[in-house]
Structure 1
Amino acid sequence: MDELVTLLTTDLVAITRGRGFMPAALEGYLTRGCGWVPANMALTPFDLIAEDNPWGSAGDLRLMPDPATAIRLEGLGTTPLHTYFSDITGLDGTPWECCPRSLLKRAVAALEREAGLVPVAAFEHEFQILGADWAPAPAFSIAAARRADPFGPGLMGLLKAAGLEPEMFLPEYGTDQFEVTCRPAGALAAADRAVALRMIVRELAAHQGWRASFAPKTAPDGVGNGVHIHLSFRDREGQPATYDPARPGGLSEAAGRFAAGVVRHMPALLALTAPSPLSYLRLVPHHWSAAYSCLGLRNREAALRICPIPELPGTDPAKVANFEFRATDATANPYLALAALIFAGLEGLRAGLAQPPLVNTDPSGMTEAERARLGAHRLPESLPAALEAFRADAAVQSWLPPVLSDCLVAVKRKELSLVADLTPEELCDRYAAIY
């Protein structure tokens, strides 16, 4: 059967795009890559280019595939899915300053160089199946899992074949909603896995005649689809470096300072981690989705949550300790979101910030004075407010090349203009069809 090999990159609006060729030409393309255009980074989710992008019609780039990211999957009812994730480079092969994947590499290198920490990450995805003719079933139930059969086992098998190390598949709280997780990996591999997982879920759902949507909301009053980014650290010798049982929440001193940096810069981070107008229908209090910039211990209303450690024989707390950033969704580019978190944490380490107080109840139920004492501040409630915080945070601006920051703002302003007149229902429908 004929097939195509596709070199892929994921842009500012988390759309994975690329160019394909016949397998017989693979060796040459692995060496020289294929052509790409700077203004492709200025595409909105609706395939209109932001007019005030930094490049216009000028410039040429290359998609340079990473051989370690090869995926080839059969059994999807069409031709095999054969892909490579790519870095965007100049014509001479040097990294392009606006390449999200290369930015994540720079963040990882900076954290190890300056703090001696190597990040380990995992992306936890929620999505909904649209178009399936299923009878109702209780949330989290075996009935909800079995009525989708063989989707669950088929998905886990495909993820395993693709090298993603799938960990768990479960029916979630929302209507026809599922969650899927993969084992932790190095930061770059984790972000690659996030992109691959979304791609494979959509392929398999389409094969069943359904549509899988990772949109933050598919209905205004429905349960949101989040992406939780789990983080832990190892030192340069590969030993766990996240846990200290003598400290609050069990976080090591370095992990606590890292968490402080994330909390301090969280309002600006939302422009990269919750970067669509629809994201803010999800980020509201009482929805376990993170509406306040604070650190919590096993508190699902905290935007940064220290995850529980099983207290069972044979469990090594140092190996399983981690925290998760919850104010993320699938309209975010995984490379940019994770790079931003790493840079934010590194700022906390550079400044020697103290670990934030633990907020272990819903901040919206506190008084203003209580929230102020704990440093639990309401996060931006709209994309324009997040973009304003993004532009105002000098540290965040220093992490990104100015041209990338300018492009992001231009794209998001264009995106906002294209949906300005939509009702919440229309907004959900529009994004559910894309994400």
Structure 2
Amino acid sequence: MQITNGSAGTAVELRHRVLHADPDANAELIERLRADGVRAIALTVVDNGGVTRVKVVPVQRLASALRGGIGFSVVWAVAGADDSFALSAPFDTPAGDLRLFPDFDALSRITGGPRLVWVPADQYTQELDVSPCCQRSMLRGAVERGRELGIEFKAAFEVEMSLLGEDGDPGHHGPGYSASALLEVEPFALDLMDALAGHGIEVEQLHPEYAPGQVEFSCAPRDPVGAADQLALSRIVARKVARAHGLAVSFAPSVHPGALGNGCHLHLSAWRDGVNLMQGGDDAVGGLSGDGAAMVAGMLHALPEVLAVLAPSVLSYARLQPQKWAGAYACWGVENREAALRLVPGTVSSRASSANVEIKTLDGSANPYLALGVLLSAALDGLDRRAELPRPVQRDPHTLSKAERAKAGIARLPSDLGKATDLLARSEMAVKALGPELHHAFVTVRRREWETYGRRDHAELIPEFRLRY
């Protein structure tokens, strides 16, 4: 049982499957799980606070879950990372219920034995309509809009995390990328790669990063829903493996005051009829095709408006600083690690298959389904408008004068969550991408986090949020 493409059907298909369920087929699935030693199924969703929430169903109750779903209060749409609820109509009442349905196309085991399996869940109403606040379904909708235009997307995340000992000390002390740092975490790193491979998650590379205790691994590309599912599962796997080694894992954007934070860089490519649109075009735009350039332009234009989705916590802005390779300026460049959008052409021998654009502003507090969903929507909006991509920036934008940046159209991205949330709240593109209900719920959560924590010192906040994501 390994993670696949996370391609659960539409609400219409789900309704038909539930209302006309084949009892024998469900019984066969349950019997197969029991024969494999499975005792329970963990259903997860990632909420608007960036937290992975879970409900565990004993295998003997699975038939009921497949028939009627698992209850999930509507107030989870406004849950924050601190377990508070940003109550706002229509999410300000204890009344009402949603139903979680498992997507068994993406079933996978959880490391440590066969007794517990993991599956992502979709949120539906009791009438078996997709909940307008289902983050996973929002991403699926963006993927489907691309397919209607003949566009297939591939996505891959770079997972940065910080290893912590029992006393909170870093799991390694550097130097970054060094063999000596790797030796400090070698047992964990090897077990992690084995565990991820056992879940069907292909690790392309792993290394110790620059910050104390920081480790990064990169996953192979897959369809967007599968990539987001894969990220959610890989975090669970990493935590479980780390625990076996006496370590804790933090995916928070800031873990040690003054040190580099954890990003969650996203690599994205777009394809039509088997051709990678991130290559094969004009050298003036880094070799992007005309359609590829329009999609990158769409994302670049939308970046300030959707930053609160990509960097949604107060601590995101401790990480999102100039000259930290975090992408603090709204610009793009070819292999420019200081640009928010970095075009990665790849070597000439693999360019046709590997060329992609890296979005550097994402961090570990982001909901991967929403982050991918708004970026795909922005890319498709750029394609629809035939958006024009400005010239690439091949310098560190922070070293340019204000006049030079203004002339080149380079703007600093919002410097705190309050400013980013204000832009998101006014963004027509974001409302269209997320839908009005999900947009309202997400903005409400961001406003509450800013009002509660925005004036506090980052160093003071780090211990409170270090292990939340």
| TM-score bracket, shorter-length normalisation | over 0.9
SS at match of 1:185: coil
- 1:19-30 alignment, distance < 5 Å: 19-30=55-66
Q: Which amino acid aligns with 1:434?
A: R
**In structure 2, what is the equivalent of residue 98 of structure 1?**
133
**In structure 2, what is the equivalent of residue 286 of structure 1?**
323
Gaps of 5+ in 1: none
Which one of 220, 231, 237 corresponds to residue 257 of structure 2? Answer: 220
Are residues 1:328 and 2:362 paired? yes
Give the CA deviation at 1:431. 1.4
Q: Give the TM-score, by structure 2 length.
A: 0.87
Give the CA deviation at 1:167. 1.6
Give the CA deviation at 1:344. 0.8
Q: Determine if contact 2:424/2:443 at 8 Å carries over to the other structure.
A: no
SS at match of 2:276: coil
Q: 1:80 to 1:221 in 2, by over 3 A?
A: farther
Give the CA deviation at 1:376. 1.1
SS at match of 1:184: coil
Q: Determine if contact 1:117/1:241 at 8 Å carries over to the other structure.
A: no
Which one of 32, 46, 70 corresponds to residue 68 of structure 2? Answer: 32
**In structure 2, what is the equivalent of residue 177 of structure 1?**
214
Give the CA deviation at 1:31. 4.2
SS at match of 2:418: helix
**In structure 2, what is the equivalent of residue 265 of structure 1?**
302
- 1:23-422 alignment, distance < 5 Å: 23-55=59-91, 56-75=93-112, 80-114=115-149, 116-131=150-165, 136-235=173-272, 237-247=273-283, 248-311=285-348, 315-420=349-454, 422=456
SS at match of 2:90: coil
Structure 2 CA distance for aligned equivalents of residues 253 and 333 of structure 1: 30
Give the CA deviation at 1:30. 3.4
Structure 1 CA distance for aligned equivalents of residues 326 and 248 of structure 2: 24
Can you list the C-alpha shifts for 1:262-288, whole angstroms capped at 9, x where unaligned? 111111111100000110111111111
Structure 2 CA distance for aligned equivalents of residues 68 and 295 of structure 1: 36
Structure 1 CA distance for aligned equivalents of residues 111 and 241 of structure 2: 11
Structure 1 CA distance for aligned equivalents of residues 380 and 368 of structure 2: 18
Q: 1:120 to 1:263 in 2, by over 3 A?
A: same
Structure 1 CA distance for aligned equivalents of residues 441 and 172 of structure 2: 45
Give the CA deviation at 1:367. 1.8
Give the CA deviation at 1:80. 4.2
Q: Determine if contact 2:110/2:237 at 8 Å carries over to the other structure.
A: no
For this pair of structures, how many residues does the alignment match? 428
Structure 2 CA distance for aligned equivalents of residues 101 and 226 of structure 1: 21
Give the CA deviation at 1:220. 2.7
Percent of residue pairs identical: 35
Give the CA deviation at 1:407. 1.2
**In structure 2, what is the equivalent of residue 428 of structure 1?**
462
Q: 1:194 to 1:257 in 2, by over 3 A?
A: same
Gaps of 5+ in 2: 1-36
Deviating 4+ runs (over 4 angstroms): 132-135
Q: Determine if contact 1:9/1:85 at 8 Å carries over to the other structure.
A: yes
Q: Determine if contact 2:160/2:216 at 8 Å carries over to the other structure.
A: yes
When structure 1 is superposed on structure 2, of 244-253 and 274-283 the one drifting more is: 244-253
SS at match of 2:362: coil
Q: Determine if contact 2:333/2:393 at 8 Å carries over to the other structure.
A: yes
Q: 1:361 to 1:63 in 2, by over 3 A?
A: same
Can you list the C-alpha shifts for 1:222-249, whole angstroms capped at 9, x where unaligned? 01110111000121x3332321143321
Give the CA deviation at 1:83. 1.2
SS at match of 2:43: strand
Q: Which amino acid aligns with 2:208?
A: P
SS at match of 2:275: coil
Q: Give the TM-score, by structure 1 length.
A: 0.94
Q: Which amino acid aligns with 2:117?
A: H
Structure 1 CA distance for aligned equivalents of residues 178 and 345 of structure 2: 23
Q: Determine if contact 2:111/2:241 at 8 Å carries over to the other structure.
A: no
Structure 1 CA distance for aligned equivalents of residues 275 and 64 of structure 2: 40
Q: Which amino acid aligns with 1:336?
A: L
Q: Which amino acid aligns with 1:208?
A: H
Can you list the C-alpha shifts for 1:325-344, whole angstroms capped at 9, x where unaligned? 01110111000000000111
Give the CA deviation at 1:107. 0.5
Give the CA deviation at 1:43. 1.0
